[in-house]
Amino acid sequence: MKNENIQIVKSIFENPLSFLKLDTPQVYKNMTVIPIIVQDDKFIDFISIKEAEELELIEIVETDTVGQLEVINNSDKQILIPFGMTVHGGKQDRTVWEPILIPVGGKQSIVSENPGTVKQKYIIPAKCVEQSRWSYTKGRGFKSSNTRLHPNVAFEAISAAGQGAVWDEIQSHRAEMNYALSVAPTQSYLEMTKESEKQTGDIVNHFKNVENQCGIAVFINGDFIGIEFYANSEVWKTMSDDILKAFSIEALRFKDKSQRNVIEYHDELLKILNRMDFNYSFREGVALGNVVEFNSNDNKWRGITLVHEKTMAQFYLVSKRGGFQGSTRSNIQFQTVINQRYQI
């Protein structure tokens, strides 16, 4: 019997329009964005970690292990911590490298100071995005940042290659963007990306959300770069600027490259998705649902999603263009196994 979670993910490639509606492409310079609308029957009720923080419904704290963080849910709402979310604080900035949907209630109750208050704790996997700082700045706590991983770093974060691959790609990004050594002396990815905030912000301002939008498919210079969507339009609104900024880094990286002429972006996207051939793996999620990872047979595309209630809470797919070309990773098994979640 074929795994149901994998079959749900495969449906995006076999028949995308059964799940998604594609709105009118929006173009600015060398970046084209297709707004994505998810079918109504695929929606899931949850809020984003950013909204949960604003409402003081969630806490993220350091543990004694670099590769894990502790999340305390103080709410009666389901909270999504998306793949690629970066958090600032503790001994090092981190990224969450798989999507996590924290339920109402949880695995481990914590005694609350206020009787009747819901308070639940989860241990979640993280990878470091700041190589050279190993001391606390403002205590053990973290806050989510407005920085999401751009495709090349995200590509390595999905990989089972581990922490070193992420650090290598961050250093490659520093080199190709010509950031001075005085920029981000602790090798912080969050600090590096601040150098391009003005440029990425300008790009983001030229794209507008449409009604019921849940995600985007992105082309740079006429080449398909990646896709990200959520099963909740309100969560997309909360996350959209951060996601657009991450993809707009690709527009800056390749702004001097020639542009391929695309006559019809919808047709181009559908043809590309239909042609893709993946190896799939799945595992039980940290909290709700199951994580499905997929890697193309030519190793040019990687994706990750969280399947819950027979739909995808978050779907993420990207290609890697240029960047670090390590010679030691070709024999690494792609599938991420459970015991890799908390290793540095």
Q: What is the pLDDT of residues 233-279, one digit of tens each?
A: 999 999 999 999 999 999 999 998 998 999 999 999 999 999 999 99
Phi and psi at residue 53, to the nearest 5°: -65, -40
Spatial distance between the Cα atoms of 23 and 231, rounded to a whole number of angstroms: 16
Q: What is the pLDDT of residues 14-40, one digit of tens each?
A: 999 988 999 999 999 999 999 999 887
Neighbours of 175 (CB within 10 A): 10
3-class state of residue 113 by DSSP: coil
**Tens digit of pLDDT for each residue in 105-119?**
544 444 445 555 556
> Given pLDDT bands bounded at 50, 70 and 90, which one contains residue 323?
low
pTM for the complete prediction?
Answer: 0.88
H or E stretch including 169?
Answer: helix 163-176
Q: Where residue 158 falls among pLDDT bands split at 50, 70, 90?
A: confident
Phi, psi of 48 (to 5 degrees): -85, 160
Task: Please answer whether residues 155 and 165 qualify as being in contact, where contact means their C-beta atoms are separated by less than 8 angstroms.
Answer: no
> Which residue in this structure is represented by tokens 């604080």?
89
Q: Are 247 and 30 in contact (CB under 8 A)?
A: no
Tokens of residue 288, six digits: 């709700």
How far apart are the two ends of the chain, measured CA to CA in Å? 35
- Would you state the pLDDT for residue 203? 97
Tell me the pairing of strands 47-48 and 79-81: parallel
Place of tokens 């707004």: 35
Q: What pLDDT was estimated at residue 319?
A: 94
Question: What is the average pLDDT value for the chain, to the nearest integer?
Answer: 84
CA distance 264 to 247: 21
